[in-house]
Amino acid sequence: MSSSAASMADYQVEAYNTAKDSENKIHDDTVARKYGFSGGLVPGVDVYAYMTHPAVQRWGRDWLERGTGDCRLIKPVYEGATATISVQPIEGEAEAMAITVESAGQICATGTARLPGAAPTAPDLADFPLTALPDNRPPASPAALPIGAMLGTYSKLCEAEAEAAYQADVREDLPLYAAESLIHPGHLLRFGNWAVTQNVVLGPWIHVSSSVQHFATARHGEELSIRARITNNFERKGHLFVELDAVVLAQGSRLLARMDHTAIYQPRQVQA
């Protein structure tokens, strides 16, 4: 696609909290308020999904097959609020854009998207061995999430009906996805969350940031899986963080994406 970042209009969505009934109660209004928020948080992976719209609008399938994207989640986006996604060119880079998400007068997320001129070098999948999920998930803790450990491999069949519902939830309206039966990049990033939630029992927790390198597209009806290694586990300002290096595969072998994924798995509670 030929439009430049400088010429692209702002993209707006009415945010929707897809996780109100999830195990993660940071998306529940009552629980979120105990952590200092105004209500349940729209999932960070869905905010990232909003951010991918201008990249796919500009570069189309090329970005889904070799592009990069990253996000830093700064402030919550709340259900029913308008999220405005704006892009700006990055000086000195022809195929790159800086992306900002603003809602309720605040900058809620920042990130970038880039389209490399050539396909990236794929990681060696031998570095990400298939690992069994635990029979019983232990409570999340530094001991349960040790640096260097492989998490159990989580798999999910991505069927057309569920994918269409997901894209409606994240307000995606680009025709490319339905026309070519493609899985949305925001859906791929959800696997970063599932890598954690399917291996340990969490209380309320918060997605903080991610970076993604794409290698190929996935289609309806394929089984997707994530293999993730813990690269860091640390405390900062009373919050406990975990960082992952992960690959997302289709049909157990075709590399779709590699991601770095960071979450606060135990936030500091700010009020009783």
pTM of the model: 0.92
Does pLDDT of 270 surpass 60? Answer: no
Q: Measured between alpha carbons, how far is residue 202 from residues 141, 152, 156, 179 in Å?
A: 9, 16, 20, 38
Per-residue pLDDT, 214: 98
Architecture of 5-117+125-266 per CATH?
Roll (3.10)
Beta strands at 154-158 and 222-236: parallel, antiparallel or unpaired? antiparallel
Per-residue pLDDT, 4: 74
pLDDT band at 227 (very low <50, low <70, confident <90, very high): very high
Domain ranges of the chain: 5-117+125-266
Which tens digit of pLDDT belongs to each residue from 33-51? 777 777 778 889 999 999 9
Question: Residue 59 and residue 221: Cα distance in Å, rounded?
Answer: 25
Q: Name the amino acid, one letter, at 169.
A: D
Q: Are 206 and 74 in contact (CB under 8 A)?
A: no
Question: Residue 85 and residue 98: Cα distance in Å, rounded?
Answer: 10
Which tens digit of pLDDT belongs to each residue from 180-222? 999 999 999 999 999 999 999 998 889 999 999 999 999 999 9
In degrees, rounded to 5, the angle at the alpha carbon of residue 221 between the alpha carbons of residues 250 and 57 is: 75
Per-residue pLDDT, 1: 43
Per-residue pLDDT, 271: 36
Higher-confidence residue: 36 or 61?
61
Phi then psi dihedrals of residue 194, to 5 deg: -65, -30
Q: Measured between alpha carbons, how far is residue 4 from residues 9, 79, 96, 163 in Å?
A: 10, 31, 9, 29
pLDDT band at 269 (very low <50, low <70, confident <90, very high): low
